[in-house]
Chains A and B, each alone.
Chain A
Amino acid sequence: MPQKRRRQSRRRWIPISQNRKKEIRTAYLFLLPSLLGVGGFVFIPFLDVIRRSFLQASGHGFVGLMNYQEVLQNEAFGRAAGNTAKFMLICIPLLLFLSLGTALILQNTSGFQKAMKTGVLLPMAMPVASVAVCFQMIFDRHGWLNLLLQKFGDGGQDWLATKQAFWVLTACYIWKNLGYDMVLWLAGLSAIPREQYEAAQVQGAGRWNCFRYITMPQMKETVFVTALLSFINAFRVFREAYLIAGDYPHDSIYMLQHLFNNWFTNLDIQKMTAAAVLLVLGIGGVLGGEELWKNHREKRERKLGQA
C-alpha cells in the first residue's frame, strides 16, 4: 500500500477522477482519432508485413525463416546496415558535441545569442532540392572546393564519388541540425538556477568543476531527448543523400534507406518485409532497453530520496 501511495504522489499532475471507468473511457475517446489512423495505416498493416515475411514471393507457401536468412546473407544489406550504423555512431556524437559547445559559449549572452540562433536555424527552412544543388556545386569534381584547391595546386578529386562522400554527408547533417540541437541545449542549460553556479564559484570551483558537478548531472533528460531527436533526424539525411547522389551513390553512403528504396522499386517485397521486421526488432530492442533502464534508475532514485 505505501508503494502505491508513493506512485500516486509522484503523479500528482494527473487529475484523479472519482469514477475510474469514466476516466478511462474519456482517455480513449481523446486517443481515438489518432489510434484509428495509426492503427489503420501502420500497426495493423505491419502485422500483415510480419505474416508476409514468412511467406514465399509467389503464392502463399510458408517458408519459415528463409526470407530472413536471405536478407542477413545479402551482401548489400550488410553493407547498408554497416554504413547506417557507422553514420549514426560518428555523426550523432559529433553533432551533440559541437552543438553543446556552441550552446555553452552562447549561454550567457543575449543579443548575440538571438542573432546566432536565427542564423543557425535557417538551414532547416531550406528546400532539400536547393541544399542538394549547393552541395553538388561545392563538392562536384568541377565544383567550388576543387576550384579553390586548384589555386594551391591540388584538387581534381570527385568528393562525391570517393570515400569522402561519407564526410560530405556528415557535413550536410551537421549543417542542417546544429541549430535544432543548440536550441535544445540552451533550453536545458537555462533551466539550471544561476545561484548554484554562483555558490560554487564563491567556494572556489573552476569552470570545469562547475560543468562537471552542476551542469552535467542536471542535463540527463536533455541529453536523452537531444540524442533521440538527432537520431530521428539522422535517418532523414537520406533526402539530401538521395538528391545529391541518386539511387546508387558511392558505397560509403549507401544506407539502409537506399537499399529499401531500391528493393521497393524492384518490388522485392519479400526482402523488404523481412528487413523491416528486423529493423523494428533492432530499434525496438534498443528503445525498450533504454526505457527499462530509465524506469529502473527512477525507482532507485526514488528509493534513495525516501531513505
Chain B
Amino acid sequence: MGRHKTAGLGQAAVRACLVLGLAVIILPLFLLVSYSFMGVQELRELCGPVLSGLEGMSGFRLIPAYPTLRAYVRLLLDSPEFFTAFWNSCMQTGGILAGQLLAAVPAAWAFARFRFPGKGVLWFFYMLLMILPFQVTMVSGYLVLSAVHLMDTPAAVILPGMFSTLPVFILRKSFSAIPGEMIEAAKVDGAGSLRIFFHVGLPLGKAGIFAILILGFLESWNAIEQPMTYLKTKVYWPLSLYLPQITASKAALAFAASIIMLAPALLLFFFGQDYLEQGIVASGIKE
C-alpha cells in the first residue's frame, strides 16, 4: 500500500510539472487574446518600449486594466487594407489547397498502389523536394515565374504551392494502409482503376485527405517566404505579410488582427483536431 501511495504522489508531481509546462506553452496565446482587448494608451505603456522604441521598460499585465473593443471596431470598420489582405489570404490558401487536392491525391494513390518503372527514382526526388527549404528552389521558381510573366501576381504564390510534395508523402502512407483485400474485392466486382480510386481509395483515405488539408491550411495561411519573394505589390499581400508590417506603428490593430487571423486556424483545430492527429499519425505509419 505504502508503495502505491508514493507512486501516486510521484505521478501527481510529474503531472503538476506537465501542467506547468503546458501553462508556459499556451501563455503566448493567452496574452495575445488578452492584449487584443487593450486600448492604444495601455498598449503604448506596456509594449511601446519594445515594439516602437519608446523609453523605459515594458510592463507585464495578464488581464487588461481597461478592456475595450476599440481595436476590433477600428479594424473591422476602418481598415480597408485589412480586408484586402484577409481576402488575399483566403484566395491564396484556397487556391493552394484546391490544387493540392487535384495533384497530390492522385499522385499519392499512384505511389501507394502501383508498380511502375521509375517509381523509386521519382519517389526519391519527391522526398528530396519535400525536405529542401524554400530558399533552395526559390531561384528556379523565380526563373520560371518571370519567364511566363507571372511574377508579382497571386498565381506566383498559388501555382508552386499547389505542387508541394509533403501532402503526397503523408497521403501515400494512409493509402498504403488500406488493406489489399478491399481492392481485390472491388476488382473481382469488375471495378476499373478510376472506380477503385473514387469508391475505395477516397472514402478510406478520407482521414488522410482531411489531414493534409488542415496541415496545408496552417502552412499556407502562415506563408511568409513565398509571398515575400514573389509578390512586390502590396495589394496582393496576404495577412501573414500585412500583420508584421503594422506591428510597430499600430500595435493595437495588430493584436486584434492577429486574433482574427488566428480564428480560422483555431476553429479548424477544435473541429478537426482528430483529423489533424490522424494525419500526423498517418505520416508515421509503418509501411
Instruction: Give CA–CA (A199, B116) in the complex, Å.
Output: 44
Instruction: Give CA–CA (A242, B50) in the complex, Å.
Output: 17
For B128, give its contact among A142, A235, A283 (CB under 8 Å).
A283
Complex: chain B residue closest to A27, CB-CB: B114
Residues of A contacting B233 in the complex (Cβ-Cβ under 8 angstroms): none
Query: If the complex has contacts A45-B140, A143-B58, are A221 and B284 also in contact, measured as CB distance less than 8 A?
Result: yes
Using a CB-CB cutoff of 8 Å, which residues 2-25 of chain B contact chain A? Answer: 14-15, 18, 22, 25
State the Cβ distance, A227 to closest chain B Cβ, in Å: 11
Task: Name the segment of B66-74, B176-184, B202-210 touching the other chain.
Answer: B176-184
Q: Which 8 A-B pairs have the closest CB atoms?
A: A34-B107, A37-B163, A27-B114, A45-B140, A260-B135, A30-B110, A235-B133, A129-B243
Interface status of B75 (Cβ within 8 A of chain A): no
Binding site for B on A (CB under 8 A): 11-15, 23-24, 26-28, 30-35, 37-38, 40-43, 45-46, 48-49, 102, 105-106, 112, 116-134, 136-137, 140, 142-144, 146-147, 150, 175, 178, 180, 183-184, 187-188, 191, 221-222, 225-226, 228-229, 231-232, 235-236, 238-239, 242-243, 256-257, 260-261, 264, 269, 272-273, 276, 279-280, 283-284, 287-288, 291
Instruction: Give CA–CA (A261, B142) in the complex, Å.
Output: 13
State the Cβ distance, B102 to closest chain A Cβ, in Å: 6
Q: List 10 A-B contacts (CB under 8 A).
A: A15-B113, A26-B193, A41-B160, A42-B163, A105-B18, A116-B22, A127-B265, A132-B247, A183-B281, A231-B131
Residues of A contacting B125 in the complex (Cβ-Cβ under 8 angstroms): 43
Residues of A contacting B179 in the complex (Cβ-Cβ under 8 angstroms): 13
Q: Are A34 and B49 in contact (CB under 8 A)?
A: no
Instruction: Give CA–CA (A42, B13) in the complex, Å.
Output: 52
Residues of B contacting A137 in the complex (Cβ-Cβ under 8 angstroms): 31, 47, 50-51, 58
Instruction: Give CA–CA (A102, B106) in the complex, Å.
Output: 36
Q: Are B159 and A41 in contact (CB under 8 A)?
A: yes
Instruction: Give CA–CA (A284, B127) in the complex, Å.
Output: 9
| Inter-chain residue pair count (beta carbon < 8 A) | 276
Binding site for A on B (CB under 8 A): 14-15, 18, 22, 25-26, 28-29, 31-32, 47, 49-51, 56-60, 99, 102-104, 106-107, 109-111, 113-117, 119, 122, 124-144, 159-160, 162-163, 165-166, 168, 176, 178-180, 183-184, 187, 193, 196-197, 218, 221-222, 224-225, 229, 239-240, 243-244, 247, 254-255, 258, 261-262, 265-266, 268-269, 273, 276-277, 280-281, 283-284, 286-287
Q: Are A134 and B176 in contact (CB under 8 A)?
A: no
Complex: chain B residue closest to A20, CB-CB: B115
Residues of B contacting A12 in the complex (Cβ-Cβ under 8 angstroms): 180
Q: Are A30 and B277 in contact (CB under 8 A)?
A: no
Instruction: Give CA–CA (A242, B103) in the complex, Å.
Output: 31
Q: Are B25 and A178 in contact (CB under 8 A)?
A: yes
